[in-house]
Each structure stands twice: as C-alpha cells, then as structure tokens.
Amino acid sequence: MLEPNAESPMESRLRLLLVLRGLPQPEAQVSICNGNGAFVARLDLFYRSASLGIEYDGATHRNSLAADAHRLNRLLRAGISVLRYTASDVYKRPGEVVQEVRAELHARTHAGIVRP
C-alpha cells in the first residue's frame, strides 16, 4: 500500500480510504497535459480510465481560491473531472467520499469518457 509519490499524510489517508473500501488504486502525482502537450496541472490522485482527478485540499488552499479555480478550469478544458476533499471529508464523512468517487468513476467509465 506504500505510495512513494505521495506528498502528504492526508493525501495518503484519502488514497487508502478509497482503496480499502474497494475502489481501484489511483495513480499518484500525475501531470496532466492538454491536447497540444502543454502542462495543465498535476493531480494528487488520478483514475486515467475515467479521466477523474481526486484532490486533497489542505489548509494552504484557504489562501489560494483564485489560483485553485483557474487550475480547475484548465483541467476541465483538458477533459479532466476533479473531485476535491478536505480533512473533514476524510474523517467525518468517509462513506460519502467513497460513494461520490465510486459514482463518478462509474458514470465516467460507462459514458465512454477517456482522457484526451
């Protein structure tokens, strides 16, 4: 279960929550490029088959709302859907987090969405 690319303990907790509740192992710290090959963003966790990114937003994100919004818009334009979670989500509503990720994986996989 060790992930050498993990960048924080909470990111690891989020990944383990997903995997230990039966979801596939996501890739960690994946760089996303657009159709022209230009760097868009790096995602904490990524389900390539569904073009689904999972992000852990720690306390530093409180001060980066505008930058985070611009980054999310770039990812959306590149065809990547992103679900974002905080420590409160991981600790207080883990079942809902797993349910949301599972539903999004299912919807995107069955809709034939693939990474551009």
How many angstroms from the chain centroid is the CA of residue 57? 10
The reply to whether the predicted model has a pTM over 0.85 is yes
**pLDDT of 64-92, one tens digit each?**
678 888 989 999 999 999 999 999 999 99
Kindly report, residue by residue over 32-56, the tens digit of the pLDDT: 998 899 999 999 999 999 999 999 9
Q: What superfamily in CATH does domain 9-104 come from? A: VSR Endonuclease (3.40.960.10)
Calculate the CA 68 to chain-centre distance: 13
What is residue 68's three-state secondary structure? helix
Determine contact, residues 52/44, Cβ cutoff 8 Å.
no
